[in-house]
Structure 1
Amino acid sequence: MTKKVLPKEASEFTKKVNEKVKKSLPFENTKDFDDAKKGFIGTWDHVKVDTEDGHAVWDLEDYKFIEGEEPDSVNPSLWRIAQLNMTNGLFKVTDRVYQVRGFDMSNTTIMEGDTGLVITDTLLSVETARAALDLYYDELPKKPIKAIIYTHSHADHYGGVAGLISKEDVASGKVALIGPEGFMEAAVSENIFAGNAMIRRAEYMYGSRLSRGELGQVDAGLGKTASKGHMSLLAPNDTITFDHEKRVVDGIEVEFLMAPNTEAPSEHMMYFPQFKLLNIAEDAVHNLHNILTLRGAQIRDAYEWWKDIDKAIRAFGDKYEVCIGQHHWPTWGNQEINRLLIHQRDAYNICMTKRFILLIKELTAIEVAEAVKFPPALEEKWYLRRLLRYA
């Protein structure tokens, strides 16, 4: 007989640590909350997505408890990002560019082409992908999908593709399906061959089976949690292989920058000159992304990571006015974008160089994770908060 283990209240030690965090961070800076809501068009009264047989795939009602003040059982930094990740719906980013956020762990980006839609990333589940497109169609004209772009080879960015298009659409060329070099190899090896083991480990890493609540699962940093629907995979019919390779997709010009072995083994970033918009994929988000994930994904190369962020700055740093990622909310304004990307670049550089120095000094991996510190100018930045240890 399985014994049910009830959650415990926070210990006095935990309460003191959380109080110290609260006093050390600039909670008076609420700009991220304004940016997360900017461009809001609409959402559903109850953001709940089910399978055809009624199984719950996604339900934000489970997280209503986050609307209140942070409890002493949750790190205030985590509580803050959990509140930000509750911002959901369809948002206008700039002219002809929209995002659906809060319908899965990741975002889907929808651009209006000359005759139809160009979509970047398709969420994790077929059901949530359909729901995101339904929300778009609830608010804006119903146009056909002309192209889908995968940013990288992690399942939360391609798993919903069959909810939007069919394999016949791809095979016939009716829909352009664009991905970075090595996409299928990386997607299959990481998410299919090793998928079962990684899913089990991810349940421990993210606490996804815990009940939602201040003594249970609160947030996953990049989003609320992973949806629990049907996952799909379609192979690209167009592959990007080198820096500054260009495509014109339904009248939208896009220039690609390769970013392999950064956040994913197969990844690329994109610049859209018509919109002065950089899609940084998952190489810069609004917290410090982990380098080694406990679920078992391939370890990220911090050297390649900071170099590729730097490459994007050098290529487009005097051009972009909007920066989006496939998690979290956009950044607007050239100066603000450069500040974000420069600080993210420098953070990964520090993670790499300081870890190397500390390993030479014969510290263990756990000791290195505790010892790596940022300069004060970086430590106070919300977009460099470490929600998981990063060694």
Structure 2
Amino acid sequence: MLSACDNSGGGSSSGAAGGDHQLDNSVKGATEATKAANKKIADSLPFNDKSDFEDAKRGLIERPETLTIKNANGDVIWDLEEYKTYIADDKPAPDTVNPSLWRNAQLCMEYGLFEVVPDKIYQVRGYDLSNITFIRGNTGWLVYDTLISPETAKAALDLVNAKLGPRPIVAVLHSHSHVDHYGGVRGIINQADVDSGKVKVIAPANFVEDAVSENVIAGNAMGRRAVYMYGALLPRNAEGGVNGGLGMTVSTGLPTLVLPTDTVTASGQKMTIDGVDMEFQFTPGTEAPTEMNTYFPQFRAMWMAENTTNTMHNLLTLRGAQVRDALVWAKFLNDTINVYGPNVDVKFQSHHWPMWGHDKIIDYWQRQRDMYKYIHDQSVRLMNNGLIGSEIAEEIAMPPELNNYWPDRGYYGTLKHNSRAVYQRYMGWYDGNPADLDDLPPEPAGKKYVDYMGGADAILEKAKKDFDNGEYRWTAMVLKHVVFADPNNTDAKNLLADSFEQMGYQAESGPWRSVYLQGAFELRNGVPSAGGTDVASPDTISAMPPEMMFDYLGVRLNGPKAAGKNIKLNVTFDDLKKDYTLHVANGVLNYEPGKIPDADASLTLTKDTMNQIQMGNLKLTDGIDQKKVTLDGNRQSVEDFVGLLDTFPFWFNIVTP
């Protein structure tokens, strides 16, 4: 996840481009075209339906007057106050914010401690991107999903204990492997209590493997793109960050991880902890590679994890991930309806607000199920009619019974990019047109486009007219080529930024708004140098088995530099009593268990020492010098191996070459 750092680059909300458009680099207001687009949304959706607001406010027990959470060093890692200055129930949507997204932000600002089931189930909402849930057992709390940061999780626990009376935590349950559902765990429990058996940690099968894989193997690229997805560097105002779709934004503490003591592997698996009966619905391949819902028969309540929220979710996140299977997702929701639906009166989950009433919940589940089924089936239908991903995204439209249903609106995922994800899942990146099989990358293509179009000045003159006509999608497509042809063309960057900005103001999806506005920010201010968080936290690194760590070393190996090299290393983890052989040949790194007699060198170290090397706290060669790593053999081969490993730059360019 990414940090949301304060930035003073906010601008005025007044003024429209019109014929007097100036190519300056300041934040602009909404143009007349954007105002018209947002008014069309306001006129087309049932804004008089206030049932969500009733549900979001229901059961409020306590709400601190202010909510700013700091870490031990005094750094702010969660601040709802920066949103409260401009978002409120009684404030209409500004011209610079899609009114539907504004409504979602108003709902997500309902923060505090809430009662979901009397005397039994409570939630703290608005303390992070996700919710943290407390279930009262006979003697203590069962806690579901522990937010991103230890500091936000602790603040939520402190609120619960202050209002409901202090109770020990007897179990922590993680619904799935995304960091906003486990990262805060060490803020509310300690390892000693887990080791002694006082606290159980329960998660679905492959939880650790999935958490590590997403946050380390491709974590650097995902982390950089997540700056865009969450608008990490945007000011918190009506021209900047407004809402993340699933919640307001992400907290910025260092995520932690505690290894599970118990694992859920199948639907129908049951547990009773501290007098609380639970039946799990195991849902692999839905919102996460492995995920689980939980039914509480004593309370007729169903915890939906993140398999249903009050928005359309992502089939493919904009930060990057593996494509999720909409058909499998719909199937599991159908199972939820059939198996648990007859005995449910309360539905709650790890984002947004709960829902009460059997018939209302069944209708909700059916429409969420049918939303994912419709996206899948219609995308495949259009695909089989010969349309490519971009054409499908332009053609597909939800039927009114789904389109006008608030929980199916695209505040996080969108119909456009989800339909393209379905196409990608079945057909891959190639659209079948030979012209796109070996197309030029953006920089050389940009130079040719600009040359063909008569030069940058001619393009800018035409683009200004198209911008004034509200054709922002087109001006963005065209101006991208000018910027990649000449990243020093300030006028092109500023007009492209203005185009992104208006598209952001019109976006209903929180991530789409953030992506566009973060792109505009970087075009105007340059690539940042601070504000991102390394998702490969110490707990995540520590949880990596040696095999996964070697997989990551293989990703870091610079293939061209490794060509012609032949390096064999034995590696022994003396604390784990495990031996491995690493072999660099043919430009790749392979590994296997055991030792070989003809290795160039043998290294002996602890897993913790390897963790410190992986985190960049210790160089391997320094570890040898400090006797933390025992070397037997040719030291030069070890230094050669280290020299072949890339260190990834976090702040790589996105909107400029």
TM-score range, shorter chain: over 0.9
Are the aligned partners of 1:284 and 1:325 in contact in 2 as well (CA < 8 Å)? Answer: yes
CA drift at 1:256: 0.4
2:74 equivalent among 54, 69, 90: 54
2:39 equivalent among 8, 13, 19: 19
Any gaps of 5 or more consecutive residues in structure 1? Answer: none
What SS does the aligned partner of 1:269 have? strand
Match of residue 157 from structure 1: 181
Are the aligned partners of 1:47 and 1:61 in contact in 2 as well (CA < 8 Å)? Answer: yes
Match of residue 96 from structure 2: 73
1:341 equivalent among 355, 365, 379: 365
User: What is the correspondence of 1:162-173 to structure 2 with a 5 Å cutoff?
Assistant: 162-173=186-197
What SS does the aligned partner of 1:66 have? coil
Distance of 2:165 and 2:394 partners within structure 1 = 51
Q: Which moved more, 1:193-202 or 1:144-153?
A: 193-202
User: What is the correspondence of 1:128-277 to structure 2 with a 5 Å cutoff?
Assistant: 128-277=152-301
2:108 equivalent among 75, 85, 97: 85
2:53 equivalent among 18, 28, 33: 33
Distance of 2:175 and 2:403 partners within structure 1 = 29
Amino acid at match of 1:37: K
What SS does the aligned partner of 1:318 have? helix
Are the aligned partners of 1:22 and 1:76 in contact in 2 as well (CA < 8 Å)? Answer: yes
Amino acid at match of 2:106: Q
Distance of 2:42 and 2:187 partners within structure 1 = 42
CA drift at 1:193: 2.9
Provide the identity percentage. 46
More helix by proportion, 1 or 2? 2
What SS does the aligned partner of 2:342 have? coil
Are the aligned partners of 1:170 and 1:236 in contact in 2 as well (CA < 8 Å)? Answer: no
Per-residue CA distance 1:6-40 (angstroms, 9 max, x = gap): 32211222111100000000000011001000000
Are the aligned partners of 2:113 and 2:160 in contact in 1 as well (CA < 8 Å)? Answer: yes
Match of residue 478 from structure 2: none
CA drift at 1:192: 3.0
* Count of residues in correspondence between the two structures: 389
Distance of 1:125 and 1:273 partners within structure 2 = 31
Q: What is the TM-score with the length of structure 2 in the denominator?
A: 0.58
CA drift at 1:125: 0.5
Are the aligned partners of 1:127 and 1:230 in contact in 2 as well (CA < 8 Å)? Answer: no
CA drift at 1:366: 2.5
Match of residue 115 from structure 1: 139
RMSD of Structure 2 on Structure 1 (CA): 1.3
Instruction: Find runs of 4+ consecutive structure 1 residues off by over 6 angstroms.
Output: none
Distance of 1:196 and 1:62 partners within structure 2 = 28
Distance of 2:394 and 2:52 partners within structure 1 = 27
Any gaps of 5 or more consecutive residues in structure 2? Answer: 1-8, 10-24, 420-657
Amino acid at match of 1:84: L
Amino acid at match of 2:286: T
What SS does the aligned partner of 1:260 have? coil
Distance of 2:186 and 2:221 partners within structure 1 = 24
Distance of 1:195 and 1:159 partners within structure 2 = 15
What SS does the aligned partner of 2:285 have? coil
Amino acid at match of 2:70: D
Distance of 1:224 and 1:375 partners within structure 2 = 29
CA drift at 1:166: 1.6
Are the aligned partners of 1:7 and 1:216 in contact in 2 as well (CA < 8 Å)? Answer: no
Distance of 1:306 and 1:280 partners within structure 2 = 13
CA drift at 1:386: 1.2
Distance of 2:193 and 2:26 partners within structure 1 = 49
Amino acid at match of 2:127: F
What SS does the aligned partner of 2:172 have? strand
Distance of 1:348 and 1:80 partners within structure 2 = 23
Distance of 1:325 and 1:370 partners within structure 2 = 32
Are the aligned partners of 2:230 and 2:250 in contact in 1 as well (CA < 8 Å)? Answer: no
Distance of 2:97 and 2:356 partners within structure 1 = 30
Q: Which moved more, 1:136-145 or 1:369-378?
A: 369-378
What SS does the aligned partner of 2:383 have? helix
Amino acid at match of 2:133: T
User: What is the correspondence of 1:358-377 to structure 2 with a 5 Å cutoff?
Assistant: 358-377=382-401
Amino acid at match of 1:59: D
Computing the radius of gyration from Cα coordinates, the structure with the larger value is 2
